[in-house]
Amino acid sequence: MVVMANYRDAISCATLFRLQSHFTLNELVIPCMLQDRFIAVDAFIKNERKMQEELIRHFDNLIGLDERRFSQKKNHDYFYIKVAKKAIEKLVTKLLATYNIPPEEVAPNLSRLRREGALRHMAFMYFVEHRITEEGYFDYVAQALQSDLGLQKYFINYLCSNGWLSDAIRWVVFCDMINCAPRILQPYLCTNAVLEAQADLARHKLLELAFINIHQIFRRRTIIVSDVIYIPINDWYIFIIYQ
Question: 181 and 189 in contact (C-beta within 8 Å)?
Answer: yes
> By C-alpha distance, which of 30, 38, 35 is closest to 62?
30
Backbone angles phi, psi at 5, to 5 degrees: 65, 25
Q: Which residues are paired to 227 by β-bridges?
A: 242
Q: Which helix (H) or strand (E) covers residue 115, if one does?
A: helix 108-123
Residue type, 151: L
| Sequence-distant (≥ 6) Cβ neighbours of residue 196 within 8 angstroms | 169
- All structural domains of the chain with their residue ranges: 2-104, 110-220
> By C-alpha distance, which of 181, 140, 131 is closest to 157?
181
pTM for this predicted structure = 0.76
Question: What pLDDT score was predicted for residue 230?
Answer: 43
Question: What pLDDT score was predicted for residue 207?
Answer: 75
Tens digit of pLDDT per residue, the chain (243 long)?
876 778 888 999 999 888 899 899 999 999 999 899 999 999 999 999 999 999 999 999 988 676 556 555 555 444 554 557 788 999 999 999 999 999 988 999 999 999 999 999 999 999 999 999 999 999 999 999 998 999 999 999 999 999 999 999 999 999 999 999 999 999 999 999 999 999 999 988 887 665 554 445 445 444 444 444 444 444 444 444 444
Question: What pLDDT score was predicted for residue 67?
Answer: 54
Under DSSP, is residue 218 helix (H, G, I), strand (E, B) or coil?
helix
Question: What pLDDT score was predicted for residue 8?
Answer: 87
CA dist 27 → 84, 168, 187 (Å): 22, 48, 54
Question: What pLDDT score was predicted for residue 85?
Answer: 75
CA dist 196 → 186, 201, 213 (Å): 16, 9, 26
